[in-house]
Structure 1
Amino acid sequence: MTALTKTTIRVNIPQDAYDIRIAPGGLDYLGPWLAAEGNPLIKPGQKVLVVSNPVVFELYGERAITSLTQAGYQVCHCILPAGESYKTLASIEKIHDVAYENRLERSSAMVALGGGVIGDMTGFAAATWLRGIAVVQVPTSLLAMVDASMGGKTGVNHPRGKNLIGAFHQPKLVLIDPKVLETLPVREFRAGVAEVIKYGVIWDLPLFERLEAAERLDDFTQVSHELLQTMLNHSCQAKADVVSQDVREAGIRAILNYGHTVGHAIESLTGYSEINHGEAVAIGMVVAGEIAVALNLEPVTDGTWDESAAQRQKALIEKAQLPTRLPTDISIDDILRALKSDKKVQSGRVRFVLPGSIGTAFVTDQVSNESVRRVLNACRAF
């Protein structure tokens, strides 16, 4: 097997450190990298359960299984329906059933081959099988590559809220093969761009400015290899930096939820079908940006966030052809009620992630319902 050009980003978590490897064509190296001679992540000979959905498995399942088998692993697989609506405890039970049928042991592992839904569910299934076995993330969507596959957050949705059931369970490896994005539907590519924009707003001004300089962000075929590599490298490094400082979201890690507070409410209220995660986050970022403008809070960081900054953010979101308006078929009252069920609520107060400037963000619970209602109404008219 020939040498492969790759970028390696280390997530420095005590006792659970792992690598993010970004490598075009890297899917074919999945087995050899796990079985690394002298220091294997998963010992060859062990059982490995590959979890995927029908579309991804048809495209890439054989390559993943072949790589694992040739490296000496005993491989089985579990195929689950695609879509956020299947991110439930019933799906976890199906993964556990396959794990039981194939007698997965504590030395075994699960491999998540798919987007964020598959990654979240596989991670949670691994965290709860035999009280925790190894998991490897092989994301196949841009959104999963830059966000969901890293950081160890795993879980499923409750009928009344997103990601309310879960566990922290860090992967042994995150393997990102950008070439698989060639088969990603354009709408899903744009959804991933929303998370990339998020990193630019909350952490990485140079990334934000690079995205502003790009001619297009709405189509994988119109994004240069250099820009895609920048998007992946900067986003993964940003998440690694934040997660390494705050593994269990006790502090700074909460800023990674920028756009997600209102975004999760929109997803839940539209049944996880009308609007996808990235689209919901895009709308949520617009709302958060306008809340920051409306509150005119004293800056907690260098720089300021004003209407000009909010417009720059909105322009990037529109460049990616992502929505900026609230759906017309959900009420403001329903959104406000849904916010009360958000994971970030503390002592009954909704905690918002707001931008302090382009490249910085902070968390506050000093946002009244009246302020949120005014901004939500305004965002209906954008």
Structure 2
Amino acid sequence: MPGFLQSLHSLRLKCEAYIVRKYANRAQKGGYTPELPTQRQLIEIPSRDIDRNIRIWVYPHLDWDRSPRRPVMVNWHGSGFIVGGFGLDHVWCTEVTQELGMWVIDADYRKAPENPFPAAVHDAEDVLRWVATRPDLFDLRYVAVSGFGSGATLALVAASTLRRADLGLNIRVPVAFYPITNFEVDPAQKRPLQRERHVPLSVSIIRFFNKCYVPNRDDRLDPRVSPGLGDLESFPDHVVIITAEYDIFAPEGIALAESLRNGHRTVISHMVRGANHGFDKDRRTNDFERQRAHAYFVARDHLDNALWAVSLGPPQLALAGAPVDAERLRNLLTSGYREDPNRNRTPTPTVGL
């Protein structure tokens, strides 16, 4: 495409993305306010680019002040790789840290069309590399990843392709809520498991999202884009995939789960009945709270089993007491940072832990 036409095409995508983001922001209004008491702290960590940082919410476990070193889970929000959503997963993150006694990192990532693939994957990798620089806080032998929608795709990529890189940590289990695992198939060819009551995601909208995130169609075969097309041997022994009955992406999530199970992985594939893509964030539905509570319980239970089954057992949780010393927690998180020697360079894939 000639340079002038390419510029016009890029401008059009950015204008359309702006409109989509405005609509999404209105739909998500109020969803960023934590529903549960939380001690989370917002900090910025270095990316591979010298002049750019990545925002993360850090959810400390209840005993962080006396016994900081615990397993950690890194989470990525849903966005279609275009819209915002950073901070929307506060209920899931809070429940995990309080119920399982572990750290949770809720991480942001760059969005398309301004930053197409592989920007989001690079940000996900950079967050994991930052985690690896803090063995004083995080038990790097027991790391989990999770995500929702596009964030679930990143979690599966982290637990497969990125897991084979020399990250300096051991990803034991991904928890993927309604992931997109195959970008190569056109959205018009995707069908939900239950069609009668399906509320369809617009094919044109999904195509637009795909065009923004992966403009080069050849890249859609890359396992960093479509984790369902990657090497199944890259995944850890435990995998949790939560799908929704009316979601057009459910069949590909279930197909990946079956393939992994046939590859002798311990796979939990749970479908939420009567639910659509993004069901846990859609407050307009009557079953919103019930569906969310059920899905989170199933995922949390199996996350618990996968992590503690290979460790010395869950720690004794401290009872919630006095309010957290926010300044002390922030100092703990931001001090003692060791510069990652891999910063600002592309790592060479090797077999991980």
Pairwise TM-score range, normalised by the shorter structure: 0.3 to 0.5
- More helix per residue: 1
Between 1 and 2, higher relative CO (CA 8 Å, sep ≥ 6) is seen in 2
TM-score, normalisation: structure 2: 0.32
TM-score by length of 1: 0.30
